[in-house]
Amino acid sequence: MRVPVLAYHAVNISGNDYASNDPRAFAADLRLIDDLGLRIVPLHWVVDQLLGRANRDLERCVALTCDDGSNFDFEDIEHPTHGRQRSLHHCLTDFIAERGKDAQPDLHLTSFVIASPEARAHIDRGCLAGRGWMDDAWWPAAQDTGLIAIENHSWDHNHAAVPLPGIDGMPRGSFLSVDNRARARAEIAAASDFINARIAPQRTTLFCYPFSHVPDYVHDEYLPRFGEEHGMLAAMGDGAEPVHPDSDRWNLPRYICGWHWKSPEALRQILLG
Ligand SMILES: [Zn+2]
């Protein structure tokens, strides 16, 4: 198994071409992946394979993820500067309409969302346009499509845009401050509980490190030792290599759109690498 996992941020919209608009890049990449004869599969299949929980044929496969859980993941939105934006969900349904259900029968996107409504509201006002683009009403609807899984991107991202005291006195703006049980429980297990209540009977089982910051305590202690508390099976980082049988389940590599690749040509190199 060597499965590249790609990551997008649907709020990254500073124009309307591939390099300036993650949803546009996502739509183009679906076609590139298909043209290369690769199969898109759910990220949880990759994790199940890694952990020996399943034995599927994952040769020549790719998994897709997106971070931060804005409404751009699911709903088309009129952007105040750059016009109407197709959601990642509708990029998937457009692809199906264009190429047929059989082209990519396991087509799937894993969306890592921020749990705390208060933190999302602050991020919406502080980092986005303050138009309510970070709500959670779409989570169960997205999950019900069967095309999207809602997963755990922490309680509040420990984001600097949240003008509240950090959990357990943590300074804001870095996830590396999550260095003890109380902080880890509040950032990860509390997020699982909140997300699970919204998407029941589904459950979140995958974590994605905010800022791709991998704190030693979380990686070495909390995730491996307290599974019954947080329910996570694996955690995603930014290692820029395919997931393979020896990958670290608590820091699985991904390639980030706009960082590890900025053009279809560069992605082609990654996918064929
Ligand atoms: Zn994030």
pLDDT for the residue numbered 266: 98
pLDDT for the residue numbered 165: 86
Angle CA 12–267–47, to nearest 5:
85
Q: In angstroms, what is the span from residue 238 Cα to ligand 1's centroid?
A: 11
Across the strands, what pairs with 39? 61
CATH topology of domain 5-272: TIM Barrel (3.20.20)
pLDDT for the residue numbered 164: 86
The residue type at 253 = P
pLDDT by 10-residue block (mean), the chain, 273 residues: 97 97 98 98 98 97 98 96 97 98 98 97 93 96 97 96 89 96 98 98 98 98 98 98 98 98 98 92
Q: Which residues of 111-138 are buried (b: 16+ CB within 10 A; e: fewer)?
A: bbbbbbeebbebbbeebbeeeebbebeb
- The radius of gyration computed from the CA coordinates of the chain, to the nearest angstrom, equals 18
- What would the two tokens of residue 173 be? 């703006």
pLDDT for the residue numbered 12: 96
Q: In angstroms, what is the span from residue 209 Cα to ligand 1's centroid?
A: 7
Across the strands, what pairs with 63? 5
Q: In angstroms, what is the span from residue 190 Cα to ligand 1's centroid?
A: 17
Q: Could you tell me where the beta strands, DSSP code E, fall in the chain?
A: 5-8, 39-40, 61-68, 77-79, 83-85, 109-113, 148-152, 206-208, 234-236, 255-256
Q: In angstroms, what is the span from residue 68 Cα to ligand 1's centroid?
A: 5
pLDDT for the residue numbered 62: 98
Angle CA 133–66–161, to nearest 5:
50
pLDDT for the residue numbered 148: 98
Q: Which of 231, 242, 173 is nearest to 207 (CA)?
A: 231
Regarding beta strands 5-8 and 255-256, do their DSSP bridges make them parallel or antiparallel, or are they unpaired? parallel
